[in-house]
Amino acid sequence: MEKQSKKFLLSLARKAIEEYCLYGTRLALQEADIPFQANDNLLAKQGVFVTITKHHELRGCVGDLVGRQSIYQEVIDNAINAGFSDYRFSKLQPNELPEIKLEISVLSPLKITKITSPEKLVQLLENQKPGLYLEFNNAGATFLPQVWKDLKTPLDFLSQLCIKAGLKEDDWKNPKMNFWTYIVDSFEES
């Protein structure tokens, strides 16, 4: 994605959060409002996550694995949801706005990953360090590729992802577990 498009999306995410936090209204943006030079991929339907940090600590992260609407609209909705609907955190307050930092991750299409053994899965993760979505018995969760900074080994990554999904930490070894991998184009405020 072009640098100007990334800058535009980060600005859009911040405006959406500020407008919702200060006035309780959702930012309204039409396709015609997108600057022509920034619309290279912004009308495509792709999965998007918005991550909010405060003092280098997670403060909210919400997204969609598969885009149901244009990237720019996913950014608006997920920015608001990350700030005000992430069940793990209280709603952002106006006094926090200067202290938060935003990161946007635009996802590639999910790729089903057929795994023949737990060892093969560990090897794949070790070599590629992708984003991963796992699903088993209607429980699912994902970690963006950026999580590899904190969970350095595939075993930690898989165990914590299972726990996030509400599963047992070694359920990833179950042959009926489904896995999808993806990569992201991530960018953050400087």
pTM of the model: 0.94
Q: 1: which residues sit within 8 A by CB, 6+ positions away? A: 40, 41, 106, 185, 187
Confidence tier at 71 by pLDDT (50, 70, 90)? very high
Q: Does residue 101 share a domain with residue 17?
A: yes
CA distance 118 to 120: 5
- For residue 122, the enclosing domain spans 111-183
189 lies in a domain? no
Q: Does residue 100 share a domain with residue 7?
A: yes
For residue range 96-123, what is the model confidence (pLDDT) as tens digits? 999 999 999 999 999 999 888 999 999 9
Residue 173 near residue 118 (C-beta atoms within 8 A): yes
Q: Does residue 13 share a domain with residue 29?
A: yes
Domain boundary among 58, 88, 107: 107
CATH number, position 71: 3.30.700.20
Q: Vertex 65, ends 185 and 181: CA angle to 5°? A: 70
Q: Does residue 101 share a domain with residue 11?
A: yes
Confidence tier at 40 by pLDDT (50, 70, 90)? low
Domain boundary among 107, 133, 157: 107
Q: Does residue 68 share a domain with residue 27?
A: yes
Q: Does residue 116 share a domain with residue 103?
A: no
Measured in residues, the chain has a length of 190
For residue range 142-176, what is the model confidence (pLDDT) as tens digits? 999 999 999 999 999 999 999 999 999 999 999 99
Q: Does residue 116 share a domain with residue 91?
A: no
134 lies in a domain? yes
139 lies in a domain? yes
Q: Does residue 49 share a domain with residue 34?
A: yes
**Total domains in the fold of the chain:** 2
Computed over every residue of the chain, the mean pLDDT equals 95
Q: Does residue 120 share a domain with residue 64?
A: no
CATH number, position 152: 3.30.1490.150
Q: Does residue 100 share a domain with residue 137?
A: no
Beta bridge partners, 45, equal 70
What is the 3-class SS of the chain, one letter each residue? Answer: CCHHHHHHHHHHHHHHHHHHHHHCCCCCCCHHHCCHHHCCCCCCECCEEEEEEECCEEEEEEEECCCCCEHHHHHHHHHHHHHHCCCCCCCCCHHHHHHEEEEEEEECCCEECCCCCHHHHHHHHHHHCCEEEEEECCEEEEECHHHHHCCCCHHHHHHHHHHHCCCCCCHHHCCCCEEEEECEEEEECC
